[in-house]
Amino acid sequence: MLDSKRYCIMGADLRDIPELEEKLKKCNMNTQLPTLLIAECVLVYMTPEQSANLLKWAANSFETAMFINYEQVNMDDRFGQIMIENLRRRQCDLAGVETCKSLESQYRKSENKKEDDRGQNGLLREESSEGSSRLPRARLELYDSTCSFPISLHRTFQKERLLSNGWETASAIDMMNLYSKLPRAEVSRIESLEFLDEMELLEQLMQHYCLCWATKGGGELGLKEITY
């Protein structure tokens, strides 16, 4: 543990909430202060139940908070299977990969809604028109043909996962979609940093990672208005 008056860095098993809480208290964690929690490719190493407990604990503990999660998605296709197999071969099991796998089965498993409800909420239509106005046609076709289920189902699930564990607002977007929404000048800047002749590989990778965020309180800070 590295501890000072202004900064503390420590290790903890995120599956053990009482231990995590105790350690944070020792570092004078103040749950009244607006708090940003960031998880980068970590929840996927825990079972869905363990990550749900963590999300629930965070939502219940802080008065004003934002949770940002970056991790795999669309793991139900060939690309995902190869990633899972490669990691498994190195004795690294993604215990929570089910959460990032088939969102349709997740949807059925974790929510008691009917298929029809999804159509009625308009997400599918909203999503596809959004996507088609932003992405060049060729990229859109690649995007659609490599996904084994509609993208917005994933988004619906990711949002539900956060909302059902105590967060007040939730949003989720895959990196491919996010990248397509960046200002052209920013894309040019990024793409000029290093020569990249395999755009398809980058796109494939971005289709398999997503950014999700959730907020609790913080209306006065504009937390609820954060969008893309």
Ligand X SMILES: C[S@@+](CC[C@H](N)C(=O)[O-])C[C@H]1O[C@@H](n2cnc3c(N)ncnc32)[C@H](O)[C@@H]1O
Site of interaction with ligand X (CB under 6 A):
13-15, 40-42, 45-46
Please, what is the minimum distance in Å from the beta carbon of residue 42 to ligand X? 4
Using CA atoms, how far apart are residues 5 and 28, in angstroms rounded to an integer?
9
Using CA atoms, how far apart are residues 171 and 69, in angstroms rounded to an integer?
10
Please, what is the minimum distance in Å from the beta carbon of residue 47 to ligand X? 10
55 is in an annotated binding site: no
Residue nearest to ligand X (CB): 40
Residue 42 or 123 having the CB closest to ligand X? 42
State the angle between helix axes of 151-163 and 48-61 in degrees (0 to 180), rounded to the nearest 10. 50
85 is in an annotated binding site: no
Residue 23 or 139 having the CB closest to ligand X? 23
Beta partners for 214?
67, 170
Q: How far is CA 165 from the centre of its chain?
A: 14
Residue 72 or 169 having the CB closest to ligand X? 72
Residue 11 or 183 having the CB closest to ligand X? 11
Please, what is the minimum distance in Å from the beta carbon of residue 40 to ligand X? 3
Mark 151-190 as b/e (b = at least 16 C-beta within 10 Å): bbbbbbbbbbbbeebbbbbbbbbbbbbebbeeeeeeeeee
Residue 42 or 124 having the CB closest to ligand X? 42
13 is in an annotated binding site: yes
Please, what is the minimum distance in Å from the beta carbon of residue 69 to ligand X? 11
Report CA Rg, the chain: 19
Residue with tokens 């997400």: 123
Please, what is the minimum distance in Å from the beta carbon of residue 26 to ligand X? 17
Binding residues: 13-14, 40
Q: Return binding residues for S-adenosyl-L-methionine.
A: 13-14, 40
